[in-house]
Amino acid sequence: MENHPSGVISNGKIGFSTPSFTRERDDEEPEICVHPYIPGWFSEYSPLWPGQAHLLNIEKIHFQGKSEFQDMLVFQSSTYGKVFVLDGALQLTEKDECAYQEMMTHLPLCSIPNPKKVLLIGGGDGGILREISRHSSVEEIDICEIDTMLIDVYKEFFPDVAVGYKDPRVKLHIIDGTLFLNSVPRGTYDAIIVDAFDPIRPDHELFESQFFELVSKALGPGGVLCIQAESICGVIGFLLCSTEGPYVNFRSPINPIDPENYGISNQPLKFYNSEVHSAAFCLPSFAKRSSNTKAKSTAN
């Protein structure tokens, strides 16, 4: 998402020239930019969702900086608490980060009987670590994050999210997830959670098939993967997969969380529960028809 593509809007009515809030203006950029910009507001315009934008009021900018890898912005919004933005894309707000972190963690971990070793790729904010920490069966939590500045910024401005790093089971590896996976003995993990990239990449397909192969090798029999997937109806989608071995029925969580065990957090679960878990797999009719059609054409 480093460059918003031009040409998405064809009516010539857009007359805004300022690029994304967090980016330095490049003199060679064209005057006409495809996304709106308003002083005092953060505007997210994603090529994933052309023709629309979401605006959040900025009350105060807490931090702006650039690491070796990406631009970062932390601001105070008027109704979502503090907001973290990475390369112009909204990553997390204090108000609703719970939904993403909890679902991404507990959908896989509550679907298998006794998760012991868990690997998180990305997720440098620490929120998923905080959620893994609620599972008492877990013995080792590895996290691969390349951007140490990102971790530091979260620790300073989002302590209730970065609290996950305080769990003594967590081991931080400053290394690219793919490289790390290459070094991991076969069948090491019970669950792998990937919170690392947007679905838009130029080398999308090649990258994906190689990456999924590595993940598959790193998982033991009946091991599970959870990764952010495209949204089919406006809400975040997750892709859940399991390796060969004991059958994993993701729709029926068999490993509920002890509600008294907050792990490293001092808060109970805000979003996840077993009912919401199962409900997340109920698809609207258009999506069911589409997956049926695809299954049929694959079968043929």
Instruction: Check if the beta carbon of residue 145 is closer than 8 Å to that of residue 151.
Output: yes
Is 50 among the residues that bind a second copy (CB under 8 A)? yes
Q: Which strands form 219-229's sheet, in the order they lie side by side?
A: 170-173, 140-144, 117-122, 189-195, 219-229, 237-242
Nearest approach, Cβ of 80 to a second copy (angstroms)? 7
Structure tokens at 189: 């993990």
Q: Which residue has the tokens 């190689």?
A: 210
4, 19, 41, 173: which one binds a second copy (CB under 8 A): 41
Residues 131, 164: Cα–Cα separation, whole Å? 7
Beta carbon nearer to a second copy, 48 or 239: 48
Nearest approach, Cβ of 281 to a second copy (angstroms)? 8
Is 234 among the residues that bind a second copy (CB under 8 A)? yes
Q: Which stretch binds a second copy (CB under 8 A): 134-142, 182-190, 203-211, 276-284?
A: 276-284
CA nearest to 126, candidates 163, 152, 90: 163
Beta carbon nearer to a second copy, 282 or 299: 282
Q: Which residue has the tokens 């059609």?
A: 293
Angle formed at CA 29 by CA 27 and CA 35, multiple of 5 degrees: 130
Residues 135, 187: Cα–Cα separation, whole Å? 20
Is 258 among the residues that bind a second copy (CB under 8 A)? no
Which residues ranging from 5 to 24 are in contact with a second copy (CB under 8 A)? 8-11, 13-16
Nearest approach, Cβ of 180 to a second copy (angstroms)? 33
Structure tokens at 5: 């593509």
Which residues ranging from 90 to 109 are in contact with a second copy (CB under 8 A)? 96, 98-99
Beta carbon nearer to a second copy, 33 or 151: 33
Q: Regarding beta strands 117-122 and 189-195, do their DSSP bridges make them parallel or antiparallel, or are they unpaired?
A: parallel
Q: Which stretch binds a second copy (CB under 8 A): 31-39, 134-142, 169-177, 218-226?
A: 31-39
- What is the signed CA dihedral for 181, 185, 188, 189, rounded to 10 degrees? 10
Instruction: Check if the beta carbon of residue 32 is closer than 8 Å to that of residue 17.
Output: yes
22, 33, 56, 191: which one binds a second copy (CB under 8 A): 56
Nearest approach, Cβ of 221 to a second copy (angstroms)? 30
What sign has the CA pseudo-torsion 69, 70, 73, 79?
negative
Check 87, 125, 190, 195 and give the catalytic one: 195
Beta carbon nearer to a second copy, 43 or 243: 43
Residues 153, 3: Cα–Cα separation, whole Å? 24
5, 7, 30, 39: which one binds a second copy (CB under 8 A): 39
Residues 162, 124: Cα–Cα separation, whole Å? 8
18, 46, 53, 147: which one binds a second copy (CB under 8 A): 53
What burial class does residue 16 get, using C-beta atoms within 10 Å of its C-beta: 0-12 exposed, 13-18 middle, 19+ buried? middle
Binding mask 59-88 for a second copy (x = CB under 8 A): xx----------------xxxx--------
Is residue 195 flagged as an active site residue? yes
Which positions are catalytic? 195
Binding site for a second copy (CB under 8 A): 8-11, 13-16, 36, 38-41, 43, 49-60, 77-80, 96, 98-99, 233-235, 268-273, 275-276, 278-280, 282-286, 288-289
